[in-house]
Amino acid sequence: MTQPLIEARGLCVRLGAQEVLHDVSLKVDPGEIVTILGPNGSGKSTLLRALLGILRPEHGGITRKPGLAVGYVPQKLHIDRTLPLTARRFLSLPHRHGKAETEAMLARVGVPEVADRPMTGLSGGQFQRVLLARALLTRPELLMLDEPTQGLDQPGEAAFYRLIDEVRRDTGAAVLMVSHDLHVVMSASDRVICLNGHVCCEGTPRVVSNAPEYRALFGLGTQGALALYQHVHDHDHTHGHDHEHSHGHDHGHGPSHAEHDHA
């Protein structure tokens, strides 16, 4: 079995007086797309920040593959207006990239025209794309994306996920992302983790959408779960089956997690 890119065991994170994460364990294997779902304030961003080494966990350990290259798109980034910074210069922080390389990457994420525009003058959607370009320029083996499609219009969002999929295909990069878009989650992820301070349930989208913990978390009745299941089902007809086979063997622990979890 391949070594996971990153693995967290028994992570507890405290922010101020609040224990935001309690006993969270997860791993991401090369090439898989894992999505974290959870209500506002459930600790999704905190989990990514702990995995990135921005926050120090109170308990628990994080193991990264040595020399792991990570590309990070934070949930929010406020750039002070006093800091004059074009998109091109932003892409070279902290590691310098050549002009041709940055321009090619901006074109790839769909905003070739913003290279010389100040970051504070970009629209929300343009800003998100530049953030993604910066993450991709590090040639990541693991992309960590925190609500990356905020501010994108619908075609933009679809293009965004296509691009992520393309990047995975071309470079084999794994993706760990936070998303609220259940449809996308169910169709584009190999594995879903439901978080609410702790891991409520995890597994393939199909398993999770039927887990009672998941339905309780999102206030879905039987109806809602059925609708989601239907959605997954539709998706399975297109390309889901071999998809599940190729990744299924890694996730034996998924369903059992869902069953024995915190009552």
Residues of this chain that bind ligand ADP (CB under 6 A): 15-16, 18, 20, 38, 40-46
* Distance of closest approach, residue 111 Cβ to ligand ADP, in angstroms: 26
Query: Is the Cβ of residue 63 or residue 86 nearer to another protein in the bound state?
Result: 86
Please pick, from the candidates 59, 93, 162, 183, the single residue that binds another protein as defined by CB under 8 A. 93
Range 32-51, binding Mg ion (CB under 5 A): 44-45
* Interaction of residue 79 with another protein, rule CB under 8 A: yes
> How big is the CA angle at 188 (ends 249 and 143), to the nearest 5 degrees?
85
* Distance of closest approach, residue 87 Cβ to another protein, in angstroms: 11
Query: Is the Cβ of residue 34 or residue 167 nearer to ligand ADP in the bound state?
Result: 34
> Which option in another protein, Mg ion, ligand ADP, none does residue 176 bind, with CB closer than 5 to 8 A by kind?
none
Please pick, from the candidates 3, 41, 54, 169, the single residue that binds another protein as defined by CB under 8 A. 54
* Distance of closest approach, residue 230 Cβ to Mg ion, in angstroms: 28
- CB contact at 8 A, 27 and 8: yes
Tokens of 160: 């965004």
Query: Is the Cβ of residue 218 or residue 229 nearer to ligand ADP in the bound state?
Result: 218
Q: Where are the beta strands (DSSP E) in the chain?
A: 6-15, 18-28, 33-37, 59-64, 70-73, 142-146, 174-178, 191-195, 199-203
Total residues binding another protein (CB under 8 A): 27
Gap between the Cα atoms of 224 and 235, Å rounded? 17
Which among 21-29, 36-44, 48-56, 191-199 is the span making contact with another protein, rule CB under 8 A? 48-56
CB within 8 Å of 81: residues ≥ 6 apart: 120
Tokens of 40: 């506002």
Q: Which long-range contacts (CB under 8 A, 24 or more apart) does 234-240 make?
A: 235/186, 235/187, 236/206
Of the candidates 92, 24, 106, 105, the one whose C-alpha atom is nearest the C-alpha of residue 58 is 24
Of the candidates 160, 139, 140, 141, the one whose C-alpha atom is nearest the C-alpha of residue 149 is 160
33-37 and 174-178 beta bridge pairing = parallel
Query: Is the Cβ of residue 30 or residue 39 nearer to ligand ADP in the bound state?
Result: 39
Tally DSSP H helices, then E strands, for the chain: 11, 9
Please pick, from the candidates 74, 151, 156, 255, the single residue that binds another protein as defined by CB under 8 A. 74
Please pick, from the candidates 25, 86, 120, 171, the single residue that binds another protein as defined by CB under 8 A. 86
- For binding to another protein (CB under 8 A), which residues are involved? 49, 52-54, 70, 72, 74, 77-80, 82-86, 89-90, 92-96, 116, 118, 138, 144
